Structure 1
Amino acid sequence: MTPEEERLASRRSFLRGKVRSEEETSSEEATSAGGIAGSSTAPGAYLIQLTRKVMACQFEVYLNALGPGTETEAGVAALDLVTELEQQLSAYRYDSEICMLGATAYLRPQVVEPRLFELLKLAVQLHRDTHGAFDITAGPLTKVWGFFDRDGKVPSDKDLASAMSLVGSNQLTLDQENQTIFFDKEGVELNLGSIGKGYALDRCQELLCEAGVEDFLVHGGTSSVLAHGVRRDGKPRDGWEVGVPHPLRPDRRIGTVHLSGEALGTSGAAFQAFFHEGKKYGHVLDPRSGKPATAVLSATVIAPTAALADALATACYVMGPDETEALLPKYPEVSVLLVQEGRRRGSVETIMLGGMDERLALASTS
């Protein structure tokens, strides 16, 4: 039997429930701070958890463990789709569609796959709405600060200025009729790290719904969550209960929210940072200044789609309270939680906008 035949046979066995693979874990609760809130061990309380390492994080699909489990195959197909999307969206693969555009779109307009074109349109619109706080062309900044290679460094003024000259989504020309993109100059590049995982979750939702799966929750790492339907464990539920991670303590939550037919995204830099001469530099950069954003500790957004939740979480983290509040009239279906340093060392303070105070149940010790 060839390796491919063995893989397919293993997958068929897994889908029939005959083996327990790295893509299947039956659990009572998710243990991550940003995961599903704990559930009881009453009949029907268990979950089917499908996981895969992709897009530099752990993607997870949760399904209610009720009935014969025929929805599992759709969950695996959703993870297969994320693997395919990584090949299209990754800034770390030289042959991805994103990287190929960076290598050719400054020479002449390049045709873009239709779904990706719509995602780029959303990103450019968000760039305008946030006055540049969200920018998918900020890749040169990520590189000059060393975050692309996970080797943080403070750039020289000359190197920073050079990177800044390549940043700005106003240097992208999207042609709706011909479905093409053109870059104004050589060196402009796309990095969808602030919206790509959310987009992948949205695509997973489409696939699962088309397969007839009514209730599910999908994670992209601990920062991106999308929920559909209800967590069915014999208790009265309003969707799925999801933990909002604490920006300073990875083992704790700020609180919990209930999601159904919507998504949550969180942006923060507490755990991806470096120190230089006693100063901490986080990986979320303000594309307008070229420097790490410092307005808040974290930003969490609830939105109708995961792509929007992810993108706005990044933008709100960069903008801070005042600019975020000014933005929200354009996005009436969006709720935002901003977390700032508290007055006491190690404490935090919360700012809730867009009705977040009606959505978030704060943890008693946050």
Structure 2
Amino acid sequence: MKPIAITLLCWCFVFADQANAQVAKHRPVTLMGSRFDITIVAETDLKAESYIDSVVAEMSRIEDLISDWKPTSQIAAVNRNAGIKAVKIDREVFELTKRSLYFSKLTDGAFDISYAAMDKIWKFDGSMKVMPSSEEIKNAIAKVGYQNIELDSAECTIFLKLKGMKIGFGAMGKGYAADKGRELMEEKGVKAGIVNAAGDMTTWGTKPNGKTWSVGLTNPFNDEKFITILNLKRDAVTTSGSYEKYVEFDGKRYSHIINPVTGYPAIGTISVTVIGPSAEMANGFSTSIMVLGATKGLALMHKFPEYSCVIVTDKGMVIKSGNFKGRLKKMLN
């Protein structure tokens, strides 16, 4: 997930001279190892800042539950006990895992939270100097498979059947956090704002001037240009992309989005943007379509008319679902 792919146009607005004065305050924070941006519309700066504090606290709470790299998290405990025993978790974590498995079944494994077992094979932090061998990849994907994740709803437990298995919420976790941040603000009566969880964005309400939020989808071949501008009210938009985080061997580029079935990076698609009511669901779709490709991805989206998508191929073609609304170029320059 690449935050540069979704750009909010015009962050801050102040209309102090109006009868119903509103301000929009923006704050960048680091959560879940990534940059998050939170914008809240409120009557005063003080109120807006207080609401932002609440969103940050909620997202930190979620991070403490599901971040597999935090040894104190419930998911880290599940991973440590892979092949040993089931681990009791909070119902919230259980339900998030259950929804993730739904995506795995829906996509025949193109989306799979047990991909985390491959984290030592492919590295995209600059430390990777040689291509993984076919034997290494074969051994890694032996530990990948959503079919080996066992859920017990009555006991509220997760059991990973194979030793060495790992699950991670690097995809849907940020979308879930964005949804929860928006939900919390709406419960508190906040009329408008944006929660951008490293590219998984939720919006609600309007700018203080009554206009919709404007979000630009970055051209993956030229980050100074937009493919299109989206006008959002109560919406969610996510982008999964392979054009910034990758490694190269023998002149061939390998992206960070791995096909859980083959163990090799997904090919053919540079970015997928999905728009709909939920960032969690939108992220599940955008990640899945990166692996499935345009044809199967569009067929999947057709089953969910509340969601629409824009796909950019590695050849520069822009493909949109039939229900996509917005200005869109047919071909990137």
Return the TM-score normalized by structure 1. 0.82
- Alpha carbons of 1:74 and 1:362: their partners in 2 closer, same or farther (altered >3 Å)? farther
Aligned-partner residue type, residue 244 of structure 2: F
CA displacement, residues 180-199 of structure 1 (integer Å, 9 cap, x when unaligned):
11111111111110111111
Sequence identity (%): 26
What is the root-mean-square deviation in Å for CA atoms of aligned residues? 2.4
Extract unaligned runs of 5+ from structure 2: 17-21
Residue matched to 1:21:
none
- In structure 2, the partner of 1:324 is 297
CA displacement at 1:361 relative to structure 2: 4.8
Is the Cα contact below 8 Å between 1:240 and 1:260 reproduced in 2? yes
Answer yes or no: is the 8 Å Cα contact 2:214–2:229 preserved in 1. yes
Taking a change above 3 Å as real, the CA distance of residues 186 and 32 of structure 1, as seen in their structure-2 partners, is closer
Amino acid at match of 2:146: S
The DSSP-based 3-state class of the residue aligned with 1:139 is helix
Q: 1:178 to 1:41 in 2, by over 3 A?
A: closer
Q: Distance in 1 between matches of 2:5 and 2:161?
A: 42
User: Residue by residue, what CA displacement relative to the aligned partner does 1:324-352 show, whole Å, maximum 9, x if unpaired?
Assistant: 1221233221101101244xxxxx22100
The match for 1:34 is 6
Measure the CA separation in 2 of the matches of 1:179 and 1:90.
19
Choose 48-57 or 123-132, whichever is displaced more.
48-57
CA contact (8 A) 2:12 2:24 kept: no
- Alpha-carbon distance between aligned partners in 2 of 1:32 and 1:173, rounded to the nearest angstrom: 36
- Corresponding residue for 1:253? 226
Number of the residue aligned with 2:216: 243
Who is 2:208 aligned against?
A: 232
**Greater CA drift, 171-180 or 118-127:** 171-180
Residue in 1 that maps onto 2:191: 214
The residue aligned with 2:273 is 300
Contact 1:295/1:319, CA 8 A, preserved across alignment: no
**Consecutive unaligned residues in structure 1, runs of 5 or more:** 1-30, 343-347
Q: Map 1:146-165 to 2 at 5 A.
A: 146-147=123-124, 151-152=127-128, 153-165=130-142
For residues 304-338 of structure 1, the C-alpha deviation after alignment (integer angstroms, 9 at most, x for no partner) is: 21111112111111111111122123322110110
The answer (yes or no) to whether the contact 1:64–1:215 under 8 Å persists in 2 is yes
Q: Which amino acid aligns with 2:323?
A: G
Aligned residues: 325
Contact 2:11 2:26 (8 Å CA) reproduced: no
- Mapped to 2, the partners of 1:361 and 1:47 lie a distance apart of 29
Aligned counterpart in structure 2 of residue 197 of structure 1, from 146, 153, 174: 174
Match for 1:251: what amino acid?
E
- Provide the rounded CA distance (Å) in 2 between the counterparts of 1:66 and 1:361: 36
Name the TM-score, length of structure 2 as normaliser. 0.90
Tell me the residue number matched to 2:318.
Answer: 350
Q: Which residue of 2 aligns with 1:313?
A: 286
**Could you tell me how far apart the structure 1 residues matched to 2:300 and 2:331 are?**
30
